[in-house]
């Protein structure tokens, strides 16, 4: 067995231990905490959280950046070992929830994911890297296994639907990557989802204005 195989297996075993002992219950605790924070907020379809599964973690760990390993310490550096998602109705709501998220959590990163070129369509979403709140930590957990951060995505219904299907199609470890025609077809569906979001958002704003209400 080669050295890199041994490292791979050791990493997989370590992450699996962490996944079973901490990440799973942590994701559920985080989901409940987030739901409580958002109580009373309008137009939230759902709040979800899940740990990154073992296969996806070990597939991400050896990722390269300019030909060099991106993660010298994957267990310490990969910040989406737990991912959460708030699914809301309209793009206006994604913007509206930004101060709410920042009121409850400390971000070390926040950004809008948009395709690099205006001619491209692909993944859209507002992402945050947030410190794990101490309220969700169980004192019985091994502290060395508790990640420091989690990733929160705030998406519209259409963005969520597109990203879930695209994720399932495109990133299964061990499978062939998408062909350029398949990628173009996915981009087409992304454009449709983007367009639908725009239409719904414009309708929402127009009808709200007509009714004399604020878009809150």
Which residues bind to another protein, rule: CB under 8 A? 72-73, 76-77, 79, 103-111, 129, 131, 133-135, 137-139, 143-144, 148-149
Tell me how far, at minimum, the Cβ of 12 lies from another protein, in Å: 19
Tell me how far, at minimum, the Cβ of 109 lies from another protein, in Å: 4
Give the number of other CB atoms < 10 A from CB of residue 159.
Answer: 26
Nearer to another protein, 103 or 210 (CB): 103
Give the DSSP per-residue string, the chain: --HHHHHHHHHHHHHHHHIIIIIHHHHHHHHHHHHHHTTT-SSEEEEEEEEPPHHHHHHHTT-EETTEES-SSHHHH---SEEEEEEESSHHHHHHHHHHHHHHS-EEEEEEE--SSTT-----EEEEEEEPPGGG--TTS-GGGS-SEEEEEEEEHHHHHHHHHHHHHH--TTSPPPPHHHHHHHHHHHHHHHHHHHHHHHHHHHHHHHTT----
Nearer to another protein, 110 or 200 (CB): 110
Nearer to another protein, 74 or 91 (CB): 74
Residue 148 token pair: 């420091």
Distance separating alpha carbons of residues 157 and 25, to the nearest angstrom: 26
Nearer to another protein, 49 or 136 (CB): 136
Tell me how far, at minimum, the Cβ of 199 lies from another protein, in Å: 28
Give the number of other CB atoms < 10 A from CB of residue 99.
Answer: 9
Tell me how far, at minimum, the Cβ of 203 lies from another protein, in Å: 30
Nearer to another protein, 42 or 131 (CB): 131
Tell me how far, at minimum, the Cβ of 76 lies from another protein, in Å: 3
Nearer to another protein, 29 or 186 (CB): 29
Tell me how far, at minimum, the Cβ of 73 lies from another protein, in Å: 5
């Amino acid at each position: 067995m080669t050295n890199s195989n041994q490292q791979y297996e050791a990493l997989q075993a370590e992450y699996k231990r962490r996944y079973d002992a901490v990440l799973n219950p942590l994701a559920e605790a985080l989901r409940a905490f987030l739901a409580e924070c958002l109580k009373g907020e309008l137009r939230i379809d759902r709040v979800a959280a899940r740990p990154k599964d073992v296969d996806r973690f070990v597939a991400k760990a050896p990722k390269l950046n300019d030909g060099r390993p991106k993660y010298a310490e994957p267990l310490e550096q990969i910040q989406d070992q737990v991912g959460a998602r708030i699914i809301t109705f309209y793009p206006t709501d994604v913007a509206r929830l930004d101060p709410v998220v920042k009121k409850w959590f400390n971000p070390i990163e926040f950004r809008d994911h948009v395709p690099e070129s205006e001619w491209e369509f692909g993944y859209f979403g507002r992402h945050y890297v947030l410190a794990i709140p101490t309220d969700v930590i169980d004192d019985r957990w091994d502290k060395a296994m508790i990640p420091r951060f989690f990733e929160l995505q705030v998406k519209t219904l259409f963005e969520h639907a597109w990203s879930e299907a695209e994720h399932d199609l495109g990133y299964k470890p061990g499978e062939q990557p998408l062909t350029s025609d398949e990628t173009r077809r996915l981009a087409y569906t992304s454009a449709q989802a983007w367009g639908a979001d725009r239409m719904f958002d414009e309708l929402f704003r127009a009808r709200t204005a007509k009714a004399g209400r604020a878009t809150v």
